[in-house]
């Protein structure tokens, strides 16, 4: 009897007494986030109406990872313009409460499609939103937050043994939009005369089941997801790339994240055929890494089943506060409706005695997967200089993601900040920030934080 009881006890306890897994555990879950109602589309301030239906479904996709020490993290990819700060903060709080995930274990990315919905409190000066639209946006954003939490739960419940491999491929369609006038691009391509800088690498993380079947493909590219500017829901070239990969690998989930593509565009553009073509090029780049021979630079190497995750909220400094005279000038000196809305709002705030914040809490993240795979994730819309710089600093195999966790405006390098233009400071206005540029130390502050974080995950 006593022996039977012991046997029963040992059977009941066996799941707890199992040794830790000797492999990665990976779980994937997805949710359709196509708005059911005609919300305003995020991204182009020139639009005059809300969405007119769907061209392609929009998704959030979550990959949960757990290493042999039981350390967990999640990466979300999404067909959105960017995750606003408020949604990031709410979601992190909910994920901590429900799943004990700290912010350094959470990476929320956005594909920067310009055919996705406006989210709560983001870029409101850019669009002519009425009360009804704000109400729809608030409702959609609350549902969006709920879906992230539910889908994370499903991805964690799906955790199962997996093998990870990682590396980089190549796709050449991103064009530096500051240094190549859009109308001249076809000719410049013909002449081989496009000017950089650009980053044409395609980071790939492939997740395989023990039986060799592909479970997930996480991949990135540093190029604005703006082939299309119509008024229909669409994942743009990144959506086409994910559809193509999921078609050629039934059962696998394809997930796209943006690189440092702030100053890069898919050119030429504005035609569905081009979005599809760029998607196919990107999907082909990913496929090529999966079959690359071991002696090729795009061969994917095994990722040992341990990782370290880190995050720092860096205090970035805004440039000078716009004066009343400057705001009056913005207001009267333009026909641009979003500039007028911005100037009017700030003038009212100034007159009511509001103190504008002088700093912004900016998320920088670094994860080390296994010994040799490093992922750096930056908030905002970083220009490509950051990608190229961190590859020089940490090795060409480093993955650099932009548009992570909080997209508040563009993130220029010091070079782009000094050159000026939209990415250098102009975009602060549609983003509604209380300055027309960052302070000169923006690149230094981000570089120091990234260096600290990479060191912390390398020890
Ligand atoms: Zn952008």
Distance of CA 305 from the midpoint of ligand 1 (Å): 35
Distance of CA 406 from the midpoint of ligand 1 (Å): 13
For the record, the structure tokens of 11 come out as: 């059977």
Distance of CA 225 from the midpoint of ligand 1 (Å): 8
Residue indicated by tokens 């302070």: 439
Distance of CA 224 from the midpoint of ligand 1 (Å): 6
Q: How high is the pLDDT of residue 12?
A: 46
Q: How high is the pLDDT of residue 137?
A: 97
Distance of CA 117 from the midpoint of ligand 1 (Å): 14
Give which of 239, 272, 271 is closest to 258, Cα–Cα.
239
The helix-helix angle for 384-394 and 442-458 (nearest 10°) equals: 40
Distance of CA 381 from the midpoint of ligand 1 (Å): 6
Ramachandran assignment for 40, one of left (phi > 0), alpha (psi -120 to 50 degrees), beta (any other) = beta
Per-residue pLDDT of the chain (459 residues; tens, 9 = 90+): 445 554 444 444 444 444 567 899 999 999 999 999 999 999 988 898 999 999 999 999 999 999 999 999 999 999 999 999 999 999 999 999 999 999 999 999 999 999 999 999 999 999 999 999 999 999 999 999 999 999 999 999 999 999 999 999 999 999 999 999 999 999 999 999 999 999 999 999 999 999 999 999 999 999 999 999 999 999 999 999 999 999 999 999 999 999 999 999 999 999 999 999 999 999 999 999 999 988 888 889 999 999 999 999 999 999 999 999 999 998 988 888 999 999 999 999 999 999 999 999 999 999 999 998 999 999 999 999 999 999 999 999 899 999 999 999 999 999 999 999 999 999 999 999 999 999 999 999 999 999 999 999 997
Q: How high is the pLDDT of residue 1?
A: 45
Distance of CA 213 from the midpoint of ligand 1 (Å): 36
d(CA 348, CA 25): 53
Cα angle 382, 383, 384; round to 5: 120
For the CA atoms of 172, 174, 176, 180, the dihedral, rounded to the nearest 10 degrees, stands at 80
Give which of 84, 393, 117, 377 is closest to 258, Cα–Cα.
377
Q: How high is the pLDDT of residue 46?
A: 85
For the record, the structure tokens of 342 come out as: 């911005």
d(CA 388, CA 369): 20
Distance of CA 254 from the midpoint of ligand 1 (Å): 22
Distance of CA 250 from the midpoint of ligand 1 (Å): 32
Distance of CA 407 from the midpoint of ligand 1 (Å): 9
| Whether the bond into 197 is cis, omega within 30 of 0 | yes
Q: How high is the pLDDT of residue 20?
A: 62
Beta-bridge mates of residue 309:
367
- Written as one string, the DSSP assignment of 397-436 is T-EEE-SBS---SEE--HHHHHH-HHHHTGGGTTTT-SSS
Distance of CA 114 from the midpoint of ligand 1 (Å): 8
Q: How high is the pLDDT of residue 280?
A: 98
Distance of CA 379 from the midpoint of ligand 1 (Å): 12
Distance of CA 402 from the midpoint of ligand 1 (Å): 11
Q: How high is the pLDDT of residue 15?
A: 43
Identify whether the C-beta of residue 375 lies closer than 8 Å to the C-beta of residue 399.
Answer: yes
For the record, the structure tokens of 119 come out as: 């989210």
Give which of 232, 427, 406 is closest to 338, Cα–Cα.
427
| DSSP class of 329 | H
Distance of CA 237 from the midpoint of ligand 1 (Å): 15
Residue indicated by tokens 């502050």: 445
Distance of CA 324 from the midpoint of ligand 1 (Å): 28
Distance of CA 145 from the midpoint of ligand 1 (Å): 22
For the CA atoms of 47, 48, 51, 55, the dihedral, rounded to the nearest 10 degrees, stands at -50
Distance of CA 76 from the midpoint of ligand 1 (Å): 19
d(CA 334, CA 45): 14
Distance of CA 412 from the midpoint of ligand 1 (Å): 12
For the record, the structure tokens of 60 come out as: 């959030």
Distance of CA 82 from the midpoint of ligand 1 (Å): 9
Distance of CA 112 from the midpoint of ligand 1 (Å): 7
Identify whether the C-beta of residue 157 lies closer than 8 Å to the C-beta of residue 27.
Answer: yes
Distance of CA 6 from the midpoint of ligand 1 (Å): 63
Q: How high is the pLDDT of residue 13?
A: 45
Distance of CA 165 from the midpoint of ligand 1 (Å): 30
Identify whether the C-beta of residue 107 lies closer than 8 Å to the C-beta of residue 76.
Answer: yes
Identify whether the C-beta of residue 162 lies closer than 8 Å to the C-beta of residue 210.
Answer: yes
Strands 381-382 and 410-411: parallel
The helix-helix angle for 337-351 and 324-332 (nearest 10°) equals: 150
Distance of CA 18 from the midpoint of ligand 1 (Å): 48
Distance of CA 231 from the midpoint of ligand 1 (Å): 17
- Written as one string, the DSSP assignment of 347-401 is HHHHHTTPPPPSEEEEEEEEEEETTTEEEEEESSEE-HHHHHHHHHHH-TT-EEE
Q: pTM for the full model?
A: 0.94
Distance of CA 218 from the midpoint of ligand 1 (Å): 21
d(CA 188, CA 179): 11
């Amino acid at each position: 009897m006593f022996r039977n009881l012991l046997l029963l006890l040992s059977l009941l306890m066996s799941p707890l007494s199992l040794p830790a897994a000797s492999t990665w555990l990976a779980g994937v879950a997805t949710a359709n986030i196509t708005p059911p109602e005609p919300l305003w589309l995020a991204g182009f301030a020139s639009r005059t109406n809300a969405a007119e239906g769907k061209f392609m479904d929009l998704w959030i996709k979550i990959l949960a990872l757990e290493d042999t020490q039981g350390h967990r993290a999640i990466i979300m990819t999404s067909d959105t313009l960017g995750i606003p700060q408020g949604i990031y903060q709410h979601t992190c709080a909910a994920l901590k409460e429900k799943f004990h995930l700290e912010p350094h274990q959470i990476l929320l990315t956005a594909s920067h499609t310009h055919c996705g919905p406006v989210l709560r409190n983001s870029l409101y000066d850019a669009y002519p939103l009425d009360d009804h639209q704000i109400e729809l946006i608030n409702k959609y954003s609350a549902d969006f937050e709920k879906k992230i939490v539910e889908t994370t739960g499903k991805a964690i419940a799906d955790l199962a043994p997996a093998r990870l491999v990682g590396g980089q491929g190549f796709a050449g369609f991103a064009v530096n939009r500051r240094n190549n006038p859009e109308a001249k691009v076809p000719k410049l391509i013909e002449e081989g005369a496009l000017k950089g800088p650009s980053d044409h690498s395609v980071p790939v993380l492939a997740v395989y089941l023990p039986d060799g079947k592909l479970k997930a493909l996480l991949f990135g590219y540093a190029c604005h997801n703006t082939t299309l500017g119509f008024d229909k829901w669409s994942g743009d070239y990144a959506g086409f790339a994910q559809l193509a990969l999921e078609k050629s690998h039934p059962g696998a989930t394809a997930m796209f994240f943006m690189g440092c593509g702030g100053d890069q565009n898919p050119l030429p553009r504005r035609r569905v055929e081009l979005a599809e073509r760029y998607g196919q090029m990107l999907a082909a780049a990913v496929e090529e890494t999966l079959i690359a021979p071991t002696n090729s630079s795009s061969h994917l190497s095994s990722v040992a089943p341990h990782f370290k995750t880190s995050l720092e909220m860096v205090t970035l400094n805004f440039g000078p506060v716009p004066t009343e005279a400057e705001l009056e000038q913005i207001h009267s000196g333009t026909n641009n409706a979003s500039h007028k809305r911005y100037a009017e709002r700030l003038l009212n705030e100034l007159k009511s005695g509001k103190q504008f914040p002088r700093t912004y809490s900016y998320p920088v993240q670094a994860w080390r997967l296994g010994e040799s795979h490093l992922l750096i994730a930056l908030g905002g819309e970083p220009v490509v200089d950051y990608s190229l710089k961190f590859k020089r600093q940490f090795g060409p195999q480093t993955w650099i993601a932009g548009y992570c966790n909080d997209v508040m405006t563009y993130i220029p390098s010091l070079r782009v900040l000094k050159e000026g233009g939209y990415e250098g400071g102009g975009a602060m206005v549609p983003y509604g920030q209380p300055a027309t540029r960052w302070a000169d130390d923006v690149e230094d502050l981000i570089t120091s934080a990234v260096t600290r974080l990479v060191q912390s995950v390398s020890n």
